[in-house]
């Protein structure tokens, strides 16, 4: 496993962070086995959230993590936990209610106490605001996060799916107040270039925003780093131009993205791997303080993700994927 340093954390963070958004009660035994394997391979950070979970496990991810922590016997100091607050309301059927925006100092604290209890721990290593509400002054949010950090409820904090201007505003305010400030920003970042934000309240980083993280000493935790299934071969029905939802067509299904997909599959044959491996290797190859949040749903997928750490793309191959040159050969 490879690692990066994150400001405020006393242990290095793995380049692959194990995500739990897919957890369900029906597949809890498999989830436990996967976390066992992840730790065995050197993984040390698990990412969860109050509303994470699928199927009959809606909002059950934290409880499943709690049971694994107790059954595995792993020492708390040997595993880092990242949790999140302030997502929109998700009902018991898994429906996201975007009209119920929950971004405020009150919800930060309410979600924190709720999640600490559900995971069965007395602190998180990293705590992030899951969404943003530009109508809420950034000062109030940073004040609350700094207050809770000093109180010992988490070691570092960050923001997820915040647009660049708001992250910069948060950093500027924290600098004026002599706060530690956000250590992590977590947008979507992948080989796929989204023309606009596919889901309301999310943010897709372009190369300029990705580089911004390096310039400002803030780690980039990339979600959907493997391209959200776009590089699976054969093409998933969700990305079939004839069947895909209009939002997906307009945001993802561009001529340039299909060209990137074609080239990723070509390089996959060269390296003896999958297009998904190439897409993940592309993200991990960036000269950035970056970790990828992965969401494998079985042991094979997890093992495949970990193997990607040994896949090294040349500069020519990276530029070929960026559509900056016509051949991957030097």
Sign of CA dihedral 257, 259, 260, 262: positive
Instruction: Supply 292's token pair.
Output: 């990828």
Q: Is residue 33 part of a domain?
A: yes
Tell me, what CATH number does 80's domain have? Answer: 3.20.20.100
Please tell me the distance from the alpha carbon of residue 269 to that of residue 271, in angstroms, as a whole number: 6
Say how far residue 267 (Cα) sits from the centre of its chain.
25
Please tell me the distance from the alpha carbon of residue 186 to that of residue 213, in angstroms, as a whole number: 10
Please count the structural domains in the chain: 1
Q: Is residue 284 part of a domain?
A: yes
- For residue 90, CA distances in Å to 20, 49, 191, 226 come to 16, 12, 29, 25
Q: Is residue 246 part of a domain?
A: no
Cα torsion for 135, 193, 219, 32, to the nearest 10°? 100
Give φ, ψ of 206 to 5 degrees: -90, 180
Q: Is residue 236 part of a domain?
A: no
Describe the crossing of helices 105-119 and 61-72 by its angle, rounded to 10 degrees: 40
Q: Is residue 241 part of a domain?
A: no
Q: Tell which wins on pLDDT, 128 or 92.
A: 128
* Upstream peptide bond of 234 is cis (omega within 30 degrees of 0): yes
- For residue 296, CA distances in Å to 18, 176, 264, 300 come to 8, 41, 20, 8
Domain containing 117 equals 3-229+277-313
Please tell me the distance from the alpha carbon of residue 285 to that of residue 262, in angstroms, as a whole number: 19
Q: Is the pLDDT of residue 177 over 90?
A: yes
Q: Give residue 50's pLDDT.
A: 87
Q: Give residue 57's pLDDT.
A: 66
Which residues, other chains included, contact 110 with Cβ-Cβ below 8 Å and sequence gap of 6+?
85
Q: Is residue 67 part of a domain?
A: yes
Out of 42-46, 52-56, 201-205, 298-302, pick the least confident: 52-56
- For residue 166, CA distances in Å to 27, 126, 171, 185 come to 38, 19, 9, 11
Which residues, other chains included, contact 240 with Cβ-Cβ below 8 Å and sequence gap of 6+?
none
Q: Is the pLDDT of residue 91 over 70?
A: no
Q: Give residue 96's pLDDT.
A: 64
Q: Is residue 324 part of a domain?
A: no
- Residue 36 pLDDT level (bands cut at 50, 70, 90): very high
3-state helix, strand, coil in the chain (%, to 5): 40, 15, 45
Is 111 in a helix, a strand, or coil?
Answer: helix
Mean of the pLDDT values across residues 197-223? 91
Mean of the pLDDT values across residues 213-223? 96
Q: Give residue 90's pLDDT.
A: 66
Class of residue 229 by CB neighbours under 10 A (exposed 0-12, middle 13-18, buried 19+): middle
């Amino acid at each position: 496993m490879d690692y990066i340093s994150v400001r405020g954390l006393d242990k290095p963070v793995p380049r692959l962070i194990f995500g739990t958004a897919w957890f369900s009660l029906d597949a809890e035994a498999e989830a436990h086995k996967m976390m066992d394997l992840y730790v065995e391979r050197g993984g040390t950070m698990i990412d969860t959230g109050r509303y994470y979970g699928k199927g009959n496990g809606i909002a059950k991810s934290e409880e499943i993590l709690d049971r694994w922590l107790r059954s595995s016997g792993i020492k708390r100091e040997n595993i880092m936990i990242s949790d999140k607050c302030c997502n929109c309301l998700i009902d018991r059927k898994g429906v996201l209610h975007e009209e119920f925006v929950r971004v405020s100092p009150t919800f930060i604290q309410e979600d924190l106490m709720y999640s600490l209890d559900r995971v069965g721990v007395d602190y998180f290593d990293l705590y992030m605001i899951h969404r943003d509400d530009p109508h809420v002054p950034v000062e109030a949010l940073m004040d609350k996060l700094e207050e809770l950090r000093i109180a010992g409820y988490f070691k570092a904090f960050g923001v997820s799916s915040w647009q660049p201007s708001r992250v910069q505003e948060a950093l500027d305010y924290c600098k004026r107040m002599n706060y530690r400030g956000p250590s992590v920003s977590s947008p979507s970042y992948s080989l796929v270039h989204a023309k606009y934000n596919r889901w309301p309240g999310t943010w897709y980083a372009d190369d300029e925003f990705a580089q911004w993280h390096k310039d400002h000493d803030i780690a980039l935790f990339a979600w959907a780093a493997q391209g959200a299934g776009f590089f699976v071969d054969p093409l998933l029905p969700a990305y079939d131009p004839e069947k895909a939802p209009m939002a997906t067509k307009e945001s993802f299904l561009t001529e340039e993205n299909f060209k990137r997909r074609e080239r990723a599959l070509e390089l996959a044959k060269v390296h003896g791997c999958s297009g998904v491996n190439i897409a993940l290797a592309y993200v991990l190859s960036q000269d950035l303080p970056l970790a990828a949040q992965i969401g494998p749903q079985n042991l094979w997928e997890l093992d495949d993700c970990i193997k990607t750490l040994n896949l090294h793309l040349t500069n020519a191959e990276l530029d070929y994927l960026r559509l900056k040159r016509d051949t991957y050969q030097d």
